[in-house]
A and B are shown apart, each in its own frame.
Chain A
Amino acid sequence: MATFVIRRLIASVFVLLAATYLMYNLVALSGDPLKDLRESSAPNKEQLIESRIRLLNLDVAPPLRYFIWFAGVLRGDFGVTVEGRSVNALLEQALGSTIQLVTIATIVAIFLGLLVGITTALRQYSGYDYSVTFVSFLFFSLPIFWVAVLLKQFVAIGFNDFLDDDPQLPMLVIVALTLLSGALWASIIPGEPRRKAVMFGIAAVATAGLLTVMNLTDWFSYPAITIGGVAAMGIGTAFGFTALITGLKNRRALIAALVVAALGIAVYYPFQYNLSFFVTEWWMLLGLAALTALVSGVVGFVVGGVDKGPVVRVAIFTGLTTAFVIALDRFMLVWDDYANSGRVRGRPIATIGASTPNLEGSLWVQGVDIFTHLLLPTLALILISFATYTRYSRASLLEVLNQDYIRTARAKGLSERTVVVRHAFRNALIPIATIVAFDIGGIVGGAVITERVFGWTGMGQLFQNGLARVDPNPVMAFFVVVGGLAILFNLIADLVYAALDPRIRVN
């Protein structure tokens, strides 16, 4: 195994070197780096041209200039841009902002993709399956910049207009959403038409009720989950996770989950109106999450009884979800202050940039600001990767469901939940895990267009500006990072694959 990894690593380094050589020459030969100066009518044009030639060694032919560049990279220096700015500094900023941009999008896309993929596989050839297939293909076929323009117009500007004066959902929208949610749940739930009809009714009434309450409480101006919402979510997830992981028959799991949820509800007031003011750094939030997991784990362990593992897991998942809902509620608490501040002026959803210039405020305000700026680009990125993940997870689960051992499990009389969650789902995850690894390697480089339309100055901007100005240095910095990540995650994908699936030998 170790030899395999080392061999692959060495091969990867050579692969990357060859790729950079190819890339460098492609970029350098793609145009004239002095073009803008040739067009200028500045009296000292000759001198400007001369100084740029000196700055970027343009008198050396690209195949050889590569080695000058390479010598710099070996010393950890990516050189300067046409404007004479240090590429290292640019790269640092760009990488940070791109990672911020793609992380949430990737996580949400994977989560949604898996969820939808699995449900469609379980309901193959149902109306739900067909609609999801159509929708995901549709998303996959949309040019992202085209979507971006629409998102800005309808989601950002439209929604902000909606917020502007007395935001109330119109009756028509409520009816439409009610029907939609009813139809969705009815098609996901298996069984006889009568059961589906009941499900439709429950979902529709719940949706209509929720939306009406939101309208009545002026929710869009003063969003909140309140302690009631937190309690409902906490208890709901307690039951949900227990049902999914151990089955409701496991009383110990249910008790542990409910205890954790109750703890969450108990700390609601102290946290919202006191403790949260002391949270001033992002790492504190992470620390709180870790603390929550720890406490929940301990509760699970104590209550657990004989089979502790699943109970602990149920408790941790419940605890984290409840904590997340409480944090969400805390963010909502500052929404009104944020939206009506002099910098935002009642139009919270942003169309451009990574943050509101000069906005100062607590961690919670900054969080809301990040949210309003991430919303549109994240939506755009999700639309695209969502399709891939649903298709792959659907295919993967379908294939597993047709395997002998699933038949065996069913034949043994195991419940459908056990068959799907314990036997099928885990095996279906194997190929998906490798795809995810591939994708993470590629996603940093894949956000080029998204960054441009939403005014994020990340890796894509670095690449694109460099290319437009025939400036190999920033393009190569981009490429070394993106190519390096691709190779690294390729390797990880192979290893994960081998580790998860004993049938595959790495050689």
Chain B
Amino acid sequence: MRISRLGAASAATIAASALVLSACAAPQQSEVVEGSSITVAWNQPFYSYNSNTSFGNATANANIVYMTSGSFNYYDNTPELQKDESFGTYELVSEDPLVVEYTIADGVEWSDGTPVDAADMLLAWAANSGVPNTPEFDPSEFTDPETGEFTEDYPTDVVYFDGSLGSGLENVSQVPEIDGKTITLEYDNIFVDWELVFGVGLPAHVVAQRALGIEDPQEAKDALVEAIQNNDEEALASISSVWNSDWNFSEMPSEEDANLLVVNGPYVITEFVADQYITLKANENYTGENSPQIEEVTVRFITDPLAAVQALDNGEVDVISPQATADVADALAELDGVTVLSGVEAVYEHIDLQFDQSKSGTFNNPVVREAFLKTIPRQQIVDTLIKPLNPEAEVRNSQLFVPGAPGYDETVETNGMQANYGEVDIEGAKALLAEAGVTSPEVCILYATNNPRRVNEFALIQESASQAGFAVTDCGSDDWGGLLGTPGAYDATFFGWQSTSLGVTNSSATFRTGGINNLNYYSNPEVDELLSELDTTIDPERQIEIQVEIDKLLMDDAYGLTIFQFPGVTAFSDRVEGVDPGPLSPTIFWNIWDWTPTDTE
């Protein structure tokens, strides 16, 4: 575990001394007004502070929300879930029925001085579970077709929270009990990923102030709690509409909307220029253990990777995490005074074979599937395309486990991906084709033609597979995403799956018969059964066992192969220390409070 757990006091001391030092740095009688800062480049502009809505659901937003919010837990760079008990604690009260109790720590306050308490958590539950939503209500009937905003005849007594519905919290269908700073969630069904779905979001008092027109924060909160508990549809209707749309701002909110900037995390938003940059300053009211040591963090929005590299070289930004290519990595390596970290991202490249609805029907025969997989030059792909970026890159050998995660070594031993497809076996493939009695079977591969790396991968696969007698043709398209799962469009495809958490319920969508991400029409009743068991198993040991079993079944069916974990590159100048990116969102920002400035001139 690499988090340095500084005591709140020592962190505060360091932060304070940083402030003092930077104050000293101000030159005498200059026409420039200034303090010291660190600038980070990100490839997409921030545009909404509520990243739980379907609008605001983007990494660029989540990063800023992360830095300005306290949370019960977060992923470190292992990645492992870390608890932040200075913000609050949670406890599994019972497994069946599943009951969880969350308590906010004493002294945790919003940046305007209002304490964070159960009302905030109750709002988070209401918004993200969608339980108070008026049933059978279809908001599209009241949406202005031109603007997408709600029309004037939108019924005032209809409640519709556009929260992260369908992600698990909807299993808590009864209004939770609250008491002071504690909330108790009782799940109807066992839900394994319960730990990942709950946190404090927007400030309840600001939502209520804006929605109900009550000045006093405490009164506003009480009114909100009452509205939720009594299911007061009229009040909830305006609360939900404030919650849905008020926090969508793409430039600095005006003076009278300043309460939109009320946060409870290490940083507060102080400056925001549309599509250019957003600036965060250390939050004076923050009392948690993750006290920031850099007074001011500016995130600049730079899309082009090379532009980011040159901006780093020119000292305009201090930390970048550009889309990685070998050239970007090389260019970074040549810069003076820049530290480059290679690592992996939570995206893995994999090749899938179509089980049904394929273009040529080649892969309806399991033996041909096996033969094709034997020709995939996984090691060569990793060596030529990934190693230049991340010298420690390895071939990934499991559909369900991330390399290094508990259970990975176990599954590699049993699933046979490493044993049977670890090396290209042209002779073996030829023998299997002969056994199947097919000559030069056609394989049309769908991939992203607008991604140079994938184009290169395709070239390598084509070259290798043709040696075994496969007629590999090009079904690639820059519109590949739209073609995924299209019946009759292709025989095999390779692309990346991204994981936003380590929750085990993600596998269900991909491997279950008819799952929404099951794009290759895979169906195995045994796997379906195991997935159902996995979704209700809380014991981590048992979860791993089930996943290992699924992994093996997938390989026995010659489902496809995983190739590599996406390489990530982070580079930072010598003005900052402590940057140590993790694979899961918010990647580089996860330990923003551990970053320290080295610039003391």
Q: Do chains A and B touch in the complex (CB under 8 A)?
A: yes
Given A48-B54, A351-B310, A455-B307, answer yes or no on A77-B147 (Cβ-Cβ < 8 Å): yes
A-chain residues with CB within 8 Å of residue B162 when the two chains form the complex: 51
A39 and B484 within 8 A (CB): yes
User: CB-CB contacts of A336-370 with B at 8 A, as 1s and 0s?
Assistant: 01101111011101111111111111101100000
> Measured between C-beta atoms, what is the minimum distance from A291 to chain B in Å?
24
Given A51-B54, A54-B143, A71-B146, answer yes or no on A342-B298 (Cβ-Cβ < 8 Å): no
A56 CB-CB contact with B under 8 Å: yes
A364 and B31 within 8 A (CB): yes
A353 and B279 within 8 A (CB): no
Given A44-B165, A47-B165, A355-B276, answer yes or no on A347-B314 (Cβ-Cβ < 8 Å): yes
A44 and B164 within 8 A (CB): yes
A352 and B311 within 8 A (CB): yes
B219 CB-CB contact with A under 8 Å: no
Could you tell me the distance between the alpha carbons of A47 and B130 in the complex, rounded to whole angstroms?
A: 13
B35 CB-CB contact with A under 8 Å: yes
Choice from A39, A48, A345, A455 contacting B57 with Cβ under 8 Å: A48
Given A44-B166, A56-B148, A84-B148, answer yes or no on A340-B307 (Cβ-Cβ < 8 Å): no
User: CB-CB contacts of B484-526 with A at 8 A, as 1s and 0s?
Assistant: 1100000000010111100001100110000011000000000
Q: Which of B67-75, B267-275, B387-395, B432-440 contacts A (4 or more CB under 8 A)?
A: B267-275
A-chain residues with CB within 8 Å of residue B140 when the two chains form the complex: 54
B-chain residues with CB within 8 Å of residue A340 when the two chains form the complex: 27
A337 and B276 within 8 A (CB): no
User: CB-CB contacts of B254-291 with A at 8 A, as 1s and 0s?
Assistant: 00000000000000000101111101000000000000
A354 and B31 within 8 A (CB): no
Which DSSP category, helix, strand, loop or mixed, fits chain B's interface? loop
User: CB-CB contacts of A156-181 with B at 8 A, as 1s and 0s?
Assistant: 11001000000000000000000000
B171 CB-CB contact with A under 8 Å: no
B-chain residues with CB within 8 Å of residue A47 when the two chains form the complex: 54, 165-166
Could you tell me the distance between the alpha carbons of A352 and B39 in the complex, rounded to whole angstroms?
A: 13
B6 CB-CB contact with A under 8 Å: no
Q: How many residues of A contact B (CB 8 A)?
A: 75
B276 and A153 within 8 A (CB): no
> Measured between C-beta atoms, what is the minimum distance from A232 to chain B in Å?
27
Could you tell me the distance between the alpha carbons of A59 and B37 in the complex, rounded to whole angstroms?
A: 48
A195 CB-CB contact with B under 8 Å: no
- The A-contacting residues of B in range 47-70, CB under 8 angstroms, are 47-48, 54-55, 57-58
Could you tell me the distance between the alpha carbons of A38 and B42 in the complex, rounded to whole angstroms?
A: 24
A85 CB-CB contact with B under 8 Å: yes
B117 CB-CB contact with A under 8 Å: no
Choice from B27, B147, B316, B482 contacting A32 with Cβ under 8 Å: B482
A32 and B481 within 8 A (CB): yes
Given A46-B516, A57-B145, A83-B55, answer yes or no on A358-B271 (Cβ-Cβ < 8 Å): yes
Size category, B interface: 35 or more
> Measured between C-beta atoms, what is the minimum distance from B88 to chain A in Å?
25
B-chain residues with CB within 8 Å of residue A57 when the two chains form the complex: 145-146
Choice from A77, A85, A452 contacting B303 with Cβ under 8 Å: A452
A357 and B300 within 8 A (CB): yes
Given A68-B146, A453-B307, A455-B303, answer yes or no on A36-B481 (Cβ-Cβ < 8 Å): yes
> Measured between C-beta atoms, what is the minimum distance from A467 to chain B in Å?
12
User: CB-CB contacts of A64-86 with B at 8 A, as 1s and 0s?
Assistant: 00001101100001011001111
B-chain residues with CB within 8 Å of residue A69 when the two chains form the complex: 146
A34 CB-CB contact with B under 8 Å: yes
B-chain residues with CB within 8 Å of residue A90 when the two chains form the complex: 250, 274
Given A34-B482, A452-B304, A453-B304, answer yes or no on A360-B33 (Cβ-Cβ < 8 Å): yes
- The A-contacting residues of B in range 112-171, CB under 8 angstroms, are 139-140, 143, 145-149, 162, 164-168
Given A35-B482, A85-B248, answer yes or no on A353-B32 (Cβ-Cβ < 8 Å): no
- The A-contacting residues of B in range 7-43, CB under 8 angstroms, are 22, 25-27, 30-37, 39
B302 CB-CB contact with A under 8 Å: yes
Could you tell me the distance between the alpha carbons of A494 and B530 in the complex, rounded to whole angstroms?
A: 76
A157 and B313 within 8 A (CB): yes
A352 and B310 within 8 A (CB): yes
> Measured between C-beta atoms, what is the minimum distance from B209 to chain A in Å?
24
Given A79-B146, A351-B310, A452-B303, answer yes or no on A41-B517 (Cβ-Cβ < 8 Å): yes
Given A41-B509, A85-B250, A347-B316, answer yes or no on A157-B310 (Cβ-Cβ < 8 Å): yes
Given A47-B166, A361-B32, A457-B276, answer yes or no on A342-B248 (Cβ-Cβ < 8 Å): no
A214 CB-CB contact with B under 8 Å: no
Could you tell me the distance between the alpha carbons of A361 and B31 in the complex, rounded to whole angstroms?
A: 6
Could you tell me the distance between the alpha carbons of A42 and B307 in the complex, rounded to whole angstroms?
A: 31
Given A47-B165, A352-B302, answer yes or no on A357-B273 (Cβ-Cβ < 8 Å): yes
Choice from B147, B165, B277, B304 contacting A357 with Cβ under 8 Å: B277
Given A38-B482, A342-B36, A343-B37, answer yes or no on A160-B27 (Cβ-Cβ < 8 Å): no
B279 and A358 within 8 A (CB): yes
A394 CB-CB contact with B under 8 Å: no
B-chain residues with CB within 8 Å of residue A355 when the two chains form the complex: 273, 276
B106 CB-CB contact with A under 8 Å: no
Could you tell me the distance between the alpha carbons of A356 and B316 in the complex, rounded to whole angstroms?
A: 8
A429 CB-CB contact with B under 8 Å: no
> Measured between C-beta atoms, what is the minimum distance from B53 to chain A in Å?
9
Residue of B with least CB distance to A37: B481
A93 and B146 within 8 A (CB): no
> Measured between C-beta atoms, what is the minimum distance from B140 to chain A in Å?
4
A350 and B31 within 8 A (CB): no
Could you tell me the distance between the alpha carbons of A40 and B57 in the complex, rounded to whole angstroms?
A: 12
Choice from B55, B143, B300, B485 contacting A353 with Cβ under 8 Å: B300
Of all A-B residue pairs in the complex, the 7 with the closest CB atoms, nearest first, are A32-B482, A457-B275, A44-B166, A72-B146, A55-B148, A360-B33, A35-B481
Contacts A68-B146, A71-B146 aside, 8 further interface pairs with beta carbons under 8 A come to A43-B166, A57-B146, A83-B58, A85-B47, A352-B316, A355-B273, A357-B273, A357-B279
22 contacts between A and B (CB under 8 A): A32-B481, A41-B497, A42-B57, A72-B146, A80-B148, A85-B47, A90-B250, A342-B26, A343-B34, A351-B311, A351-B316, A352-B310, A352-B316, A357-B37, A358-B37, A358-B277, A359-B32, A359-B34, A453-B304, A455-B301, A455-B307, A455-B311
- B contact set with A: CB distance below 8 Å: 22, 25-27, 30-37, 39, 45, 47-48, 54-55, 57-58, 139-140, 143, 145-149, 162, 164-168, 248, 250-251, 271, 273-277, 279, 296, 298, 300-304, 306-307, 310-311, 313-316, 479, 481-482, 484-485, 495, 497-500, 505-506, 509-510, 516-517
